Amino acid sequence: MRDVKVLGPGCKRCVTTAEMVQAAADRIGVQVNIEKVTDYAAIASYGIASTPGIVIDGKVVHAGGLPKDDDIAKWLAA
Whether the CB-CB separation of 3 and 58 falls below 8 Å is answered with yes
Fold of 2-77: Glutaredoxin (3.40.30)
Inter-residue contact 48 to 13 (CB < 8 Å) = no
Alpha carbons 76 and 10: distance in angstroms, whole number? 22
The pTM (predicted TM-score) of the whole model is 0.95
Per-residue model confidence as pLDDT tens digits over 33-65: 999 999 999 999 999 989 999 999 999 999 999
pLDDT, averaged across the chain: 96
pLDDT score recorded for residue 70: 96
Return the pLDDT at 29: 97
pLDDT at position 52, please?
97
Residue 40 is predicted with a pLDDT of: 93
Domain boundaries, the chain: 2-77
